[in-house]
């Protein structure tokens, strides 16, 4: 991995963060290149969401260094930062009483003058991203009437309306059904490839991270314990080191990177073929008792 090159959009060096006396991130170092799709994985409580929020300055403080496009994060005004980074929260967060169009329009706040009315070009930008994300038919519905998948598309549309060069996504497909997961993944892939938008996405789905990403970093107990390619992380010993549990991998029918397969419960795995647990526990049959 190249650190601090000309194409580096995010550079984190020995960054640590704590809530009160509780350390959450410990000496985190990594960088993100322009146009890269980077996934952040790791067990629960590893500090993944906290890291995203520190990058977007939702959480302030910490020690070490975070630089955005070569400039220390602390030197940015909030509107300047919002033109570069956009944060997309999980779809299960608190809802606000806005229509879809109103909410997406709020994504234009880095360019709006508080003392003037909304400009024509801002409304055009909102219409373009609503069309691109397929939410135009939802324009006049309020957020609380939408499904999780629809709401996640609205959040991404607002981030795109913001015009930022980097999207920070917190579990973009969690709690969504398979169809909505596929739609969100296709949308993010299109934005990344066709618009050269850099994506940094937190996810619990290591399989999707391996299929979607250029690079993956893994956090455990607040520290970076892996930084490499999808092929490098999808190895049983590597995954066990990150998550502390064994993994079963199988070949993907359409790709070179293996996938994690769900293992059967150990009690069932130990049963002889053709014999069920109830059969083994049952006493003599009625015929045998006669």
Which region, left, alpha or beta, applies to residue 10 given φ > 0 means left and ψ of -120 to 50 means alpha? beta
Domain membership flag for residue 98: no
3-state secondary structure of 193: helix
Domain membership flag for residue 290: no
Backbone angles phi, psi at 5, to 5 degrees: -75, 175
Please give the residue range of the domain that contains residue 224: 8-84+164-245
Domain membership flag for residue 200: yes
pLDDT band at 272 (very low <50, low <70, confident <90, very high): low
The DSSP code sequence of 61-122 is --EEEEEETTEEGGG--HHHHHTTEEEE--TTS---S-BHHHHHHHTTGGG--TTSPPPHHH
Domain membership flag for residue 184: yes
Query: Which helix (H) or strand (E) segment is 37 a member of?
Result: strand 37-41
Q: What is the pLDDT of residue 277?
A: 47
Q: Are β-strands 223-228 and 215-220 bridged in parallel, bridged antiparallel, or unpaired?
A: antiparallel
**What are 23-73's pLDDT values in tens digits?**
999 999 999 999 999 999 999 999 999 999 999 999 999 999 999 999 999
Domain membership flag for residue 20: yes
Q: Select, from the ranges 134-138, 268-272, 276-280, the one with the highest average predicted confidence (pLDDT).
A: 134-138
Angle at 70 between CA 64 and CA 73, to 5 degrees: 50
Q: What is the CATH number of the domain that holds 67?
A: 3.40.50.300
Domain membership flag for residue 267: no
Number of domains in the chain: 1
Domain membership flag for residue 172: yes
């Amino acid at each position: 991995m190249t650190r601090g090159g000309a194409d580096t959009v995010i550079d984190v060096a020995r960054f640590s963060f704590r809530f009160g006396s509780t350390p959450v991130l410990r000496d985190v170092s990594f960088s993100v290149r322009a146009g890269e799709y980077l996934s952040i994985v790791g067990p629960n409580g590893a500090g993944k969401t906290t890291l995203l929020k520190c990058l977007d300055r939702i959480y302030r403080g910490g020690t070490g260094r975070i630089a955005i496009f070569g400039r220390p994060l602390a030197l940015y005004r909030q509107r300047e930062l919002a033109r570069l980074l956009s944060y997309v929260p999980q779809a299960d967060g608190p809802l606000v009483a806005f229509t879809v169009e109103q909410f997406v329009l709020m994504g234009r706040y880095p360019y709006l003058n508080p003392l003037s009315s909304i400009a024509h070009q801002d409304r055009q930008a909102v219409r373009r991203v609503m069309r691109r994300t397929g939410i135009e038919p939802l324009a006049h519905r309020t957020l609380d009437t939408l499904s999780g998948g629809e709401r996640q598309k609205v959040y991404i549309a607002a981030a795109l309306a913001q015009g930022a060069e980097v999207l920070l996504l917190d579990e973009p497909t969690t709690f969504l059904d398979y169809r909505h997961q596929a739609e969100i993944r296709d949308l993010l892939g299109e934005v990344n490839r066709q618009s050269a938008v850099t994506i940094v996405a937190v996810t619990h789905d290591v399989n999707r991270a391996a299929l979607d990403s250029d690079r993956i970093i893994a956090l455990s107990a607040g520290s970076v314990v892996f930084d490499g390619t999808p092929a490098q992380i999808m190895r049983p010993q590597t995954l066990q080191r990150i998550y502390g549990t064994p993994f079963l991998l199988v070949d993907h029918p359409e790709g070179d990177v293996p996938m994690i397969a769900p293992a059967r419960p150990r009690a069932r795995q130990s049963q002889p073929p053709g014999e069920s647990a109830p059969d083994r526990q049952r006493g003599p049959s009625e015929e045998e008792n006669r």
